[in-house]
Amino acid sequence: MSAVSQPRPSSAFITVDPDRNGKQVGFIMIPHSPHDDAWGVTRVPVAVIKNGDGPTVVLEGGNHGDEYEGPITICDMIRDLDPGRIQGRLILMPANNVHAVVAGQRTSPVDGLNFNRTFPGDPRGTITQQIAAYVADHIYPLADAFIDLHSGGSSLDIIPSAIIEPTTDPELHRRNIAAVQAFDAPMTVVISNLGEPRTATAAACRSGLVTVGSEMGGGGTVSLEALEVCRRGVYNVLAHLGVLPSDNIMPRRNDGQLFELPGTAAYVFATADGIFEPFHPNGTAVRAGEPAGRIHCTWDPTRAPETLHYAADGILYGRRQPGRVRPGNCCLVVAAPYRGALS
């Protein structure tokens, strides 16, 4: 359990009892008062599966509403997991930014916010800020570990991977690496989001939770390969954490090599308005300075295509999905061998 101060005052409430044994499915209810519903609520789905004493693990999906393998995995677990199979407690949250999930969009159509840039939230803020505040103030303090299941979303296709959130606590860093390695995804990558502190995983680390992230495919689709990686990875991590028996751990497939996104050099951004033509598929070994793709201005053939270049040596880890780009769009992402501390 993490050391947490008193939660901030909030009008949100929950319809399940986190302390009760068995399986309960309900909602976090956040009063929401738009034009057509003066005294209504936004319902954020939450299930609790508890059996006696043991670690508490929170599973999050729908942080972004257009990333699907994690939410499907979590909903399957809510239906299929018998409480007698686990030791401890699972708090299963398949659709945390629920308005974004219903819309199938990255960000909430209610307030326009990216849930993963709102932590620790604000219990008197907009709906997205209030959901983040409830998670930070009322869910994290119940937990020992946090699994945040992302995919590439509509704009990116990413190699299915398990993600390590950097933390300044060396002991937590060591435990995070072990838990993320247990996921056993095709790649394991340290991602700091350039030091961004407002993500769910950064906030979970600050709360002292063992934290596991994922990036599963993307492109706004449900990838068969990524869904299998996701299901297998979640069960592996739960067995690693002791919530499921150790015989749930599958034989290892990953060689254990760690990658990282090497700062700003990881990203290849569009420099022109046009159509992006990538030169390589995901998984290609690339070099800094090597041509990465071209941006064509097909509506003005007097303009020569503009060539983009990689800025880091490594593996092509993610690619933009829509061909249409504007200056500043992220076209490509390169992952490099991890050079940081292992503990």
Q: Which residues bind Ca ion (CB under 5 A)?
A: 64, 150
* Count of Cβ atoms closer than 10 Å to residue 48 Cβ: 24
Residue nearer to Ca ion on the CB measure, 308 or 331: 331
**Shortest approach of Ca ion to residue 148 CB, angstroms?**
9
Show the tokens assigned to 30: 């956040």
Helix (H, G, I), strand (E, B) or coil at 90: strand
Q: Mapping DSSP to helix (H, G, I), strand (E, B) and coil, where does residue 269 land?
A: strand
Beta carbon of residue 335, minimum distance to Ca ion (angstroms, whole number): 16
The pair of structure tokens assigned to 62 is: 């729908």
Q: Which of 32, 150 has the CB closer to Ca ion?
A: 150
Q: Considering the complex, what minimum distance in angstroms separates the CB of residue 63 from Ca ion?
A: 6
To Ca ion, the closest distance from the beta carbon of 303 in angstroms equals: 34
Cβ-closest position to Ca ion: 150
In the complex with Ca ion, the residue whose CB is nearer, 150 or 232, is: 150
Shortest distance (Å) from residue 66 CB to Ca ion: 8
Cα 299 from chain centre: 37
The one-letter amino acid at 285: A
| 231 Cα distance to chain centroid | 14
Amino acid of residue 124: R
The residues, ordered by sequence, that sit 6+ positions from 25 with a Cβ below 8 Å of its Cβ are: 16, 45, 46, 47, 78
Which residues share a beta bridge with 291? 309
**Cα–Cα distance between 84 and 64 in angstroms, integer?**
31
Please state, in angstroms and rounded to a whole number, the distance separating the CA atoms of residues 69 and 238: 17
**Minimum CB–partner distance for residue 106 and Ca ion (Å):** 7
Handedness of CA 55, 168, 230, 73 (dihedral sign): positive
Nearer to Ca ion, 170 or 322 (CB): 322
Distance CA 184, CA 214 (A): 11
Q: Which C-beta is closer to Ca ion: that of 216 or that of 295?
A: 216
Answer whether 264's CB lies under 8 Å from 251's CB: no
Alpha helices in 209-254 (DSSP H): 224-241
Q: Which is nearer to Ca ion, 50 or 64 (CB)?
A: 64
Q: In the complex, what is the shortest distance from the CB of residue 7 to Ca ion, in angstroms, rounded to a whole number?
A: 26
Complex with Ca ion: residue 97 or 181, whichever CB lies closer: 97
Instruction: Output 23 or 64, the one with its CB closest to Ca ion.
Output: 64
Residue with tokens 């800025």: 311
* For Ca ion, the closer CB: 51 or 154: 154
| Least distance from Ca ion to the Cβ atom of residue 248, Å | 26
Whole-number minimum distance, CB 67 to Ca ion, in Å? Answer: 5
What are the DSSP calls for 6-23, one per residue?
Answer: PPPP---EESS-TTSSEE
317 burial via Cβ count (<10 Å: 0-12, 13-18, 19+):
buried
Q: What are phi and psi of 58, to 5 degrees?
A: -100, 130
